[in-house]
Amino acid sequence: MNNISGTIPKCLNTWTTLTQKENSSPSIKHSNEIQVGESSVYVFPYDDEAFLTWKGVRSKYQSILELVKSIDLSCNKLSGEIPTEITYLVGLVPLNLSRNRLTGQIPSRIGNLQELDSLDLSRNQINGKIPISISWINRIGYLDLSENNLSGKIPIGTQLQTFDSAYGGNTLLCGEPLPMTCSDEEKGPGQSVLVNEDDKDGLITQGFYISMGLGFAVGFWGVCGTLLLNRSCRYTYFNFLTFINDWLYVKVEIIRQRILNK
């Protein structure tokens, strides 16, 4: 809630704390030392605390503050695209870039953020399709992509169909849980795999099975039928096989004798 303008820096991947998943301690501890007299020292330990807006609720974090690796740049005047470098912050838990002027598309590798529990990109000017990789984030508990210019089909995922109000205001977006259904052209390939449904290959059609059956009938009966019905062709074919067999046998014997004589 400031007046920060410009683009989001691309050097986000240099924040080493956010690129790591593990933590040494859940809390951030400090201490103050006050010296009284020449020999007495009093130590006052305390933990850092912070107020964060997470999942739409403003909460206070203290004992687990170190675990809440968050970025909140909401309600500013940021513009430009979301840098792809943000996908390297694999330890990130909440990410809030809402109420800015961001454009471009959601980074395709957003699914790398497996620790992400809250994602709010609402009220921007983000366009394009929602990346399929976003459905790989199993821990996500809060999602808001509303009031953007997103289009295409909502990726199929266990969590993505439970956010009823997360996609409002995107007039070109379709699929569950929106009432707007998608045409066959807008259904992305391979999305059914995410919910363990049968993958419908576009090459496996009714015409494929018909051509496969005709190919088998013509190929098989074209050869076997000719041998069964035409005696001269049958004799010629088997004589040819006998000749090949005898020729191979002679060649093998000659090679074997040469090896034994060395």
List pLDDT tens digits, range 39-64.
666 666 666 777 776 666 777 776 66
pLDDT for 173 beyond 80: yes
- Report the pLDDT value the prediction gives residue 27, as an integer from 0 to 100: 56
Distance CA 2, CA 66 (A): 24
- The mean per-residue pLDDT over the stretch 25-48 comes to 66
Distance CA 159, CA 116 (A): 13
Distance CA 247, CA 204 (A): 44
- Report the pLDDT value the prediction gives residue 149, as an integer from 0 to 100: 94
Torsion over CA: 80, 81, 82, 83 (sign): negative
List pLDDT tens digits, range 213-241.
888 777 777 777 777 777 787 788 788 88
Torsion over CA: 146, 148, 153, 159 (sign): negative
- Report the pLDDT value the prediction gives residue 162, as an integer from 0 to 100: 78
pLDDT for 196 beyond 50: no
- Report the pLDDT value the prediction gives residue 195, as an integer from 0 to 100: 38
Taking the domains of the chain in order of start, what are their residue ranges? 5-195, 206-261
Q: Which CATH superfamily is domain 5-195 in?
A: Ribonuclease Inhibitor (3.80.10.10)
Give the confidence band of 175 by pLDDT, cuts at 50, 70, 90: confident
Assign 60 to helix, strand or coil. strand
14's CB contacts (< 8 A; 6+ apart) are none
Assign 100 to helix, strand or coil. coil
DSSP 130-196: PPGGGGG-TT--EEE--SSEEEEEPPP-TTGGG-TTSSTT-TEEESTTSS----GGGSPTTGGGGGT
- Report the pLDDT value the prediction gives residue 84, as an integer from 0 to 100: 94
- Report the pLDDT value the prediction gives residue 200, as an integer from 0 to 100: 46
Give the confidence band of 201 by pLDDT, cuts at 50, 70, 90: very low
Q: Best-predicted range by mean pLDDT among 31-40, 96-105, 136-145, 237-246? A: 96-105
pLDDT for 91 beyond 50: yes
Number of H helices, E strands in the chain: 2, 14
Q: Cis peptide before 177, with omega less than 30 degrees from 0?
A: yes
Stated pTM of the model: 0.60
To 10 degrees, what angle do helices 206-229 and 231-261 make?
Answer: 90
Question: Which of 136, 141, 130, 143 shows the shortest CA–CA distance to 113?
Answer: 136
pLDDT for 253 beyond 50: yes
Q: 42 vs 7, 28, 29, 47, 48, CA distance in Å? A: 47, 20, 16, 17, 19
